[in-house]
């Protein structure tokens, strides 16, 4: 059974064998070759057409996926099937007409305005166990978005740390969410380009240059380039901080007096570190050789360091671009459009856009500051235009924390104002909550690698607390590294993107369902159980019947939902949906195994069906005699789903071999 490649014809042969009517009904929204529930939806829609006497499209649209198996395998929303009906009467009528010996569906249950539909367990295993085992690594993925026969192009921009300062919690979360978004789209057939848009230009780099001239030390740099640069940055930041506070106070004071910019503020900014920073920024913008050589050195040292960290996380980029890489010609092009259309106005030496004229209630967007330097905003406007020309993308997703919200709202409205609405609509800012408390835990001056070491230490401690489970992972020192990364990645993806999120090593290193440690544990456990067992080519009727008991049947019903879950996560861009789902898989697997282990340990036939009745207590048995063939197939299918889900999240299933 593991050797078939399920085509429509082969599916129909299986159906015919189960006395389900063929050919398989065709619905345009249905993807029967990739999604088992779509197959059931199509049959249910056909059945509803007959019993409710409605149009096929109406019937199909009335069927939903209930999110968890306890509400049925599918639900029918009665008012969608026939608007304005009294659900009770309508349901009664439908149920009277519903065949009570259907080989695919049990008689539905009425629940409010819904009919809850359950698939017949025996059919479920006969149909879908081979389906999952046949699809293997592709189960849950499919080629959707073809466009005139071409694959659609997606650009994902993520991580994007600022090279002058530490890699923050928000950059970590962006890295992990961005990698997920990329994998998810690849699995669904998009051509994906991954960009890292470094914050490698502008005032922070200029400040670092001022710091380097005061505190830089070549020997210290050679010994630890990124570490020394961070030291230098903190030293100059300390000197700069009071000036910045004073300048802000002066600006607020001026604003209270109804002025845009006051004398007092200018005076502060024209001396001290402020003035030095502005001068360094001008040198950079003007292409001063020494300033550029410094910037290049800092950039390269950081990229090398990031690459090392990303490799530990298993993340790769197609391109390291950054604010510094935006061409002056493209920025000039944007400015020209803005000036021609009189969108951008001069104000106290700076070029600004009053956003109340462009679809927002208030706000001023700065295109060039009063020192003549380009801004983050101007660079982003130009970056989007450059990328659209270079990659000809159908869609671009920029994964950046909530602190960028207003910025991207400005970007969107300005692109619209300059006549690029079409482009603006292709760009999505995937925002997420930035609270992390990571810097509090790691202190100042950490390199990103410290994040992983911190998790590794927490894992090593967690493995001490549950020695029995820890045994599954073999050598603690070796496993701590792999498990540290898994725990971190899963934790970052486990809360909805908009929910507050913290860097909580305690939560991330527990064995609770849905943690990286838990997923890895059950994956390893399946490896142990299945070692030496091959899935049988053909299962007998008894094998299938054994799987009709609640625990195995529920496990399979959960597995069958996987393509539905990936599709929902793809549409919502919420990886947490996959984490929650995988937690339900491991919980149900645990139920199944504990029932099985109990009986195995007691030395009785687990299925009370005579099959595998020679089961003997665990200690005395060779692995291969303890599990019935149906269960081997079920556990293998569970491993397929667990692995596919883990890969999608960016985890490498840990193998203790």
Q: State the Cα–Cα distance between residues 463 and 511, nearest whole angstrom.
A: 9
> Cβ 529 to ligand ARG, closest distance in Å?
45
- CB closer to ligand ARG, 310 vs 511: 310
- CB closer to ligand ARG, 160 vs 374: 160
Q: Which stretch binds ligand ARG (CB under 6 A): 105-113, 354-362, 396-404, 450-458?
A: 396-404
> Cβ 544 to ligand ARG, closest distance in Å?
53
- CB closer to ligand ARG, 321 vs 586: 321
Sign of the dihedral defined by the CA atoms of residues 643, 527, 32, 66, in that order: negative
> Cβ 15 to ligand ARG, closest distance in Å?
50
Helices (H), 188-323: 203-215, 218-223, 225-256, 263-269, 272-286, 289-313
- Our finding on whether 334 is near ligand ARG (CB under 6 A) is no
Inter-residue contact 132 to 637 (CB < 8 Å): yes
CA atoms within 13 A on the CB side of 358: 24
- CB closer to ligand ARG, 20 vs 326: 326
Inter-residue contact 60 to 29 (CB < 8 Å): yes
Tokens 């345009």 appear where? Answer: 28
Contact letters (x/-) for ligand ARG, 194-233, by CB under 6 A? Answer: ---x-x----------------------------------
Residue 153's H or E segment, with its range, is strand 153-157
Contact letters (x/-) for ligand ARG, 341-380, by CB under 6 A? Answer: ---------------------------------------x
Strand partners, 282: none
> Cβ 377 to ligand ARG, closest distance in Å?
9
- CB closer to ligand ARG, 384 vs 556: 384
Q: State the Cα–Cα distance between residues 641 and 139, nearest whole angstrom.
A: 7
Q: State the Cα–Cα distance between residues 562 and 128, nearest whole angstrom.
A: 12
> Cβ 497 to ligand ARG, closest distance in Å?
15
- Our finding on whether 415 is near ligand ARG (CB under 6 A) is no
- CB closer to ligand ARG, 403 vs 614: 403
> Cβ 652 to ligand ARG, closest distance in Å?
27
- Our finding on whether 398 is near ligand ARG (CB under 6 A) is yes
- Tokens linked to 49: 């057409």
> Cβ 328 to ligand ARG, closest distance in Å?
18
> Cβ 57 to ligand ARG, closest distance in Å?
41
Report the SS3 class of residue 321: strand
- Tokens linked to 504: 């909580």
> Residue 67 — left, alpha, or beta (φ > 0 → left; ψ -120 to 50 → alpha)?
left
- CB closer to ligand ARG, 168 vs 561: 168
- CB closer to ligand ARG, 250 vs 367: 367
- CB closer to ligand ARG, 390 vs 537: 390
> Residue 328 — left, alpha, or beta (φ > 0 → left; ψ -120 to 50 → alpha)?
alpha
- Our finding on whether 160 is near ligand ARG (CB under 6 A) is yes
Q: State the Cα–Cα distance between residues 523 and 536, nearest whole angstrom.
A: 21
Residues in Cβ contact with 297 at an 8 Å cutoff, skipping those fewer than 6 apart: none
- Tokens linked to 513: 């369902």
Q: State the Cα–Cα distance between residues 646 and 641, nearest whole angstrom.
A: 8
> Cβ 564 to ligand ARG, closest distance in Å?
32
Residues in Cβ contact with 288 at an 8 Å cutoff, skipping those fewer than 6 apart: none
Report the SS3 class of residue 496: coil
- CB closer to ligand ARG, 162 vs 193: 162
- CB closer to ligand ARG, 134 vs 380: 380
From candidates 121, 162, 638, 644, binder to ligand ARG by CB under 6 A: 162
Nearest to 157 by CA among 138, 177, 129: 177
Q: Helix, strand, coil % (nearest 5) of the chain?
A: 60, 10, 30
Q: State the Cα–Cα distance between residues 31 and 501, nearest whole angstrom.
A: 36
> Cβ 251 to ligand ARG, closest distance in Å?
22
- CB closer to ligand ARG, 141 vs 404: 404
- CB closer to ligand ARG, 221 vs 432: 432
> Cβ 303 to ligand ARG, closest distance in Å?
14
From candidates 154, 230, 400, 485, binder to ligand ARG by CB under 6 A: 400
Tokens 């001490």 appear where? Answer: 464
- CB closer to ligand ARG, 201 vs 274: 201
Q: Which stretch binds ligand ARG (CB under 6 A): 23-31, 70-78, 154-162, 571-579?
A: 154-162
- CB closer to ligand ARG, 427 vs 615: 427
From candidates 404, 509, 566, 588, binder to ligand ARG by CB under 6 A: 404
- CB closer to ligand ARG, 162 vs 330: 162
**Helix pair 550-560, 576-602: axis angle to 10 deg:** 160
> Cβ 13 to ligand ARG, closest distance in Å?
52
Q: Which stretch binds ligand ARG (CB under 6 A): 20-28, 30-38, 397-405, 646-654?
A: 397-405
> Cβ 233 to ligand ARG, closest distance in Å?
15
- Our finding on whether 131 is near ligand ARG (CB under 6 A) is no
Q: Which stretch binds ligand ARG (CB under 6 A): 82-90, 155-163, 292-300, 492-500?
A: 155-163
Number of residues in contact with ligand ARG, rule: CB under 6 A? 9
Nearest to 276 by CA among 209, 182, 195, 200: 209
Q: Which stretch binds ligand ARG (CB under 6 A): 398-406, 439-447, 500-508, 606-614?
A: 398-406
**245 burial level (CB within 10 Å; 0-12, 13-18, 19+):** exposed
Inter-residue contact 115 to 94 (CB < 8 Å): yes
Q: State the Cα–Cα distance between residues 312 and 486, nearest whole angstrom.
A: 11
DSSP assigned state of 162: B
Strand bridging mode 114-117 / 150-151: unpaired
Inter-residue contact 132 to 141 (CB < 8 Å): no
Q: State the Cα–Cα distance between residues 454 and 457, nearest whole angstrom.
A: 5
CA atoms within 13 A on the CB side of 285: 17
> Cβ 431 to ligand ARG, closest distance in Å?
10
Name the site residues for ligand ARG (rule: CB under 6 A): 157, 160, 162, 197, 199, 380, 398, 400, 404
């Amino acid at each position: 059974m593991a050797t078939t490649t399920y085509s429509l014809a082969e599916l129909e042969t299986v159906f015919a064998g189960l006395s389900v009517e063929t050919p398989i009904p065709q619905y345009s929204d249905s993807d029967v070759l990739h999604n088992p529930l779509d197959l059931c939806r199509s049959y249910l829609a056909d059945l509803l057409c007959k019993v409710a006497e409605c149009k096929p499209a109406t019937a199909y649209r009335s069927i939903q996926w209930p999110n968890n198996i306890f509400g049925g395998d599918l639900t029918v929303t009665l008012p969608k099937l026939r608007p304005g009906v009294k659900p009770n009467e309508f349901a009664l009528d439908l149920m009277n007409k519903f065949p009570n010996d259907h080989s695919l569906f049990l008689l539905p249950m009425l629940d409010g305005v819904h009919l809850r539909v359950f698939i017949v367990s025996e059919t479920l295993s006969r149909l879908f166990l081979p389906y999952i085992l046949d699809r293997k690594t592709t189960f849950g993925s499919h080629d959707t978005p073809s466009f005139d026969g071409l694959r659609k192009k997606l650009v994902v921009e993520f991580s994007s740390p600022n090279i002058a300062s530490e890699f923050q919690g928000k950059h970590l979360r962006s890295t992990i969410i961005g990698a997920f978004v990329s994998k998810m789209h690849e699995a669904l057939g998009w051509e994906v380009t991954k960009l890292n848009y470094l914050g490698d230009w502008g005032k922070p780099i200029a400040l670092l240059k001022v710091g380097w001239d005061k505190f830089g030390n070549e020997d210290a740099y050679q010994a630890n380039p990124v570490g020394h640069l961070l030291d230098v940055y903190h030293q100059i930041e300390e000197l700069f901080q009071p000036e910045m506070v004073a300048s802000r106070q002066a600006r607020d004071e001026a604003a209270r007096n109804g002025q845009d910019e006051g004398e007092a503020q200018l005076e502060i900014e024209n001396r001290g570190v402020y003035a030095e920073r502005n001068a360094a920024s001008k040198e950079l913008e003007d292409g001063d050789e020494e300033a550029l050589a410094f910037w290049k050195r800092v950039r390269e040292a950081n990229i090398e360091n990031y690459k090392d960290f990303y490799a530990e996380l298993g993340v790769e980029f197609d391109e390291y671009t950054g604010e510094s890489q935006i061409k002056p010609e493209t920025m000039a092009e944007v400015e020209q459009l803005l000036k021609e259309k009189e969108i951008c106005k001069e104000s106290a030496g700076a070029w600004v856009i009053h956003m109340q004229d462009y679809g927002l209630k208030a706000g001023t967007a700065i295109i060039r500051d009063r020192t003549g330097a380009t801004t983050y905003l101007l660079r982003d406007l130009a970056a989007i235009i450059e990328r659209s020309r270079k990659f000809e993308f159908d869609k671009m997703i920029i994964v950046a924390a909530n602190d960028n919200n207003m910025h991207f709202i400005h970007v969107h409205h300005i692109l619209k104002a300059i006549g690029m609405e079409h482009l603006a609509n292709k760009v999505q800012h995937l925002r997420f909550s930035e609270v992390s408390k990571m810097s509090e835990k790691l202190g100042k001056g950490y390199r990103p690698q410290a994040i992983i070491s911190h998790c590794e230490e927490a894992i090593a401690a967690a493995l001490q607390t549950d020695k029995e489970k820890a045994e599954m992972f073999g050598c603690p020192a070796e496993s701590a590294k792999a498990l540290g990364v898994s725990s971190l990645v899963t934790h970052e993806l486990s809360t909805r993107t908009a929910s507050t999120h913290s860097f909580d090593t305690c939560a991330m290193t527990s064995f609770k369902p849905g943690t990286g440690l838990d997923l890895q544990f059950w994956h390893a456990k399946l490896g142990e159980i299945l070692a030496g067992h091959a899935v049988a080519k053909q299962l007998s009727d008894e094998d299938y019947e054994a799987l009709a008991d609640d625990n195995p049947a529920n496990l399979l019903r959960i597995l069958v939902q996987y393509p539905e879950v990936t599709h929902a996560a793809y549409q919502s861009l919420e990886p947490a949906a996959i984490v929650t789902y995988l937690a339900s898989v491991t919980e149900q697997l645990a139920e199944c195994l504990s029932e099985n282990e109990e009986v195995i340990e007691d030395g009785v036939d687990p299925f009370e069906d005579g099959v595998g009745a020679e089961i003997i207590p665990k200690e005395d048995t060779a692995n291969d005699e303890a599990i019935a063939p149906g269960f081997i197939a079920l556990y293998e299918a569970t491993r397929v789903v667990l692995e596919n889900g883990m890969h999608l999240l960016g985890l490498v299933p840990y193998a203790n071999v």
